[in-house]
Structure 1
Amino acid sequence: MAFPSAAFAATAIAMTENPKSGRPGQRPGQKPFKKKKTGGKPAPRRPGLPPEGPVLLYGLHTVEAAFANADRKRLKLFATENAQNRLVERGVTIDVPVETMMPRALDRMVTKDAVHQGMILEADPLPAYGAEHLKGARLVLALDQVTDPHNVGAILRSAVALDADAVVTTERHAPEEGPVLAKSASGALDMIKHVRVKNMARFVAEMKEKGFGCIALDSDGPASLEETAFTDKTVLVLGSEGKGVRHGVREACGLLARLDMPGEIRSLNVSNAAVLSLYVARMKMGL
């Protein structure tokens, strides 16, 4: 086996660290490294990061709903030719620049196992909706610190299906808008007001002042939801599966109700509980 010459070894050492520059990988006599300047528009936000810049929305129903939402500022569509044709066939007006890409290139833009269906839309997050956007609402679903984006996405979808007027979450301890939430909602994120409030108990108190009846779902509620009296304007409050609705929020509601299950399993996943609660509320309110 041939060993490297002394000259080669000396050059290798110099390349590893140049005493004058103190930078690794620099040859003797080479000009000092200059940090490459970066500029221009920041790259689209990767899935799962907070909405401080553009979001990447993917999947047919999610992208279609984003194009139909006048409140959604759309920036650019990355899609295969087949996906573009599919959107046009469904009556979608593509009003942003389009970059035609192969499926594998789209795969690299999203997280592993994300089902993009050949299309990814770069868009700004939705405007910050507040309680002032609930004028005219009759049925509102509030989620007290429900943190799983899959659950919240499924609840948004059910809320649209059962014609609720809005879904309310807290600003903290709730999922931010992003690809996972949007995909789980299957377009519902752009079809219903997602209101975010700083303090859920204060929000409930304000809604009661506006004539809403506020009902907190609690396993220890004195009556079932079917037996509970409803007003013509209602806020249903559901809590996380572990803690349930927090004490201060229950106190603000003043009215507790339970969901009675006839089977051996007495409790439901929060997204399923939301569906059943909305259905009962609609029946009781005559909606």
Structure 2
Amino acid sequence: MSKQNKRHDSRPKKGNSSRHKPQDGIAKQGPSRKPAPVKSTERAKGPPWIYGRHAVVAALANPKRNCHRLLATSEFLKNHGRELDQAIQSVERKRPDAEIMDRMEIEDLLQGGVHQGIALQADPLPRASLDDALSQATDQDNALFVALDQATDPQNIGAVLRSAAGFGALGVIIPDKNAPEITGAMAKAACGALERIAFIRVTNLSRTMEELKENGFWSVGLDGYAETNLSDINMTGKTLLVMGSEGTGLRRLTKEKCDFLARIPISQAIESLNLSNATAVALYEIARQRG
């Protein structure tokens, strides 16, 4: 690393451990309508479904979303109709009228998704690019990204997106290989964060880490066997937080690419925190240091 990128001496030296540790009212655009019963052949047709109150409301309010069908129970519309109206009226893009269904009809169409009485069929968002995200980071001294090394559980990834958005990260980066597609379960767990934060798929995480380093980012990887506590590392400035998968943690090459390795000190009563919980703790520590 070039001298001009070197941080002050309050940072600990880079860890060298190679061990692994198992570590989501009625729209006013038109009258609601009662559709015919859902046919089993309908379930597999068309774009994917987003469900859950926060995920659907955020998607409706996102001008980048192309939406096709909006399903809701009468109870949901009674309790949250104004919220839906506000989301729809906040964008110029046309939104579908709400179709009233009962809970079981929606559940049948979603093949069991826990929908909270609301579901939206919408095209996937355009893929976010690292270059676009980096352009946002140019003038941000404390720009932050989260990278997930081999995470595969959609709900865990959704929860990470939610925490990353909540703590002001610019994006979540994940290797494209073996990464799950965005599903309704992921969108619901993200609680609207999919509409607010870049979800960036990359071909090679190691090369992406090098590119971020060239753009002034330091990378901190969480490793249960690291000798340094996370709170002892200076995480001000442009930072990439790198999280490993549950069970195997960070891969060897990923660990070697990290500038620092750190652990979250936890009680010996449990072996590790799960991915989303550990990420939330780490993001809180970063926010605490930055005041």
Distance 2:60 2:155 in 1: 22
Instruction: Name the residue aligned to 1:141.
Output: 146
Letter in 1 for 2:114: V
Q: Does 1:220 align with 2:225?
A: yes
Q: CA deviation at 1:227?
A: 0.9
217-226 or 85-94: bigger deviation: 85-94
Q: CA deviation at 1:262?
A: 3.9
Instruction: Name the residue aligned to 2:210.
Output: 205
Q: CA deviation at 1:55?
A: 1.2
Q: CA deviation at 1:86?
A: 4.3
Partner of residue 260 from structure 1, selected from 251, 262, 265: 265
Query: Percent of aligned positions with the same letter in both sequences?
Result: 39
Letter in 1 for 2:121: E
Q: For residues 241 and 104 of structure 1, do their structure 2 counterparts lie closer, same or farther at Cα, with a shift above 3 Å needed?
A: closer
Distance 1:105 1:219 in 2: 45
Distance 1:180 1:136 in 2: 29
Distance 1:220 1:103 in 2: 47
Q: Which has the larger radius of gyration?
A: 1
Partner of residue 52 from structure 2, selected from 51, 59, 63: 59
Q: CA deviation at 1:269?
A: 0.9
Distance 2:190 2:271 in 1: 26
Give the conservation status (yes or no) of the 8 Å contact 2:43–2:110. no
Give the conservation status (yes or no) of the 8 Å contact 2:53–2:116. yes
Size of the aligned set, in residue pairs, is 238
Per the normalisation by structure 1, the TM-score is 0.76
Instruction: Name the residue aligned to 1:92.
Output: 87
Q: Deviations over 1:24-64 (max 9, x none)?
A: xxxxxxxxxxxxxxxxxx96657xxxxxx611011111100
Q: Does 1:110 align with 2:110?
A: yes
Matches within 5 A, 1:230-249: 230-249=235-254
Partner of residue 277 from structure 2, selected from 249, 252, 272: 272
Higher relative contact order (CA 8 A, sep 6+): 2
SS at match of 2:277: helix
Q: CA deviation at 1:80?
A: 2.9
Distance 2:110 2:212 in 1: 39
Q: CA deviation at 1:171?
A: 1.0
Give the conservation status (yes or no) of the 8 Å contact 1:215–1:235. yes
Q: Does 1:190 align with 2:195?
A: yes
Q: For residues 223 and 116 of structure 1, do their structure 2 counterparts lie closer, same or farther at Cα, with a shift above 3 Å needed?
A: same
Q: CA RMSD in A?
A: 2.1
SS at match of 2:234: coil
Q: Does 1:80 align with 2:73?
A: yes
Per the normalisation by structure 2, the TM-score is 0.75
Give the conservation status (yes or no) of the 8 Å contact 1:225–1:258. yes
Q: CA deviation at 1:219?
A: 1.8
Distance 1:45 1:252 in 2: 42
Gaps of 5+ in 1: 1-41, 47-52
Q: Deviations over 1:180-231 (max 9, x none)?
A: 1111212222221111111111110100000001111112223111111334
Give the conservation status (yes or no) of the 8 Å contact 1:212–1:231. no
Letter in 2 for 1:251: E
Instruction: Name the residue aligned to 1:129.
Output: 128
SS at match of 1:259: coil
Q: CA deviation at 1:87?
A: 4.5
140-149 or 257-266: bigger deviation: 257-266
Q: CA deviation at 1:103?
A: 2.6
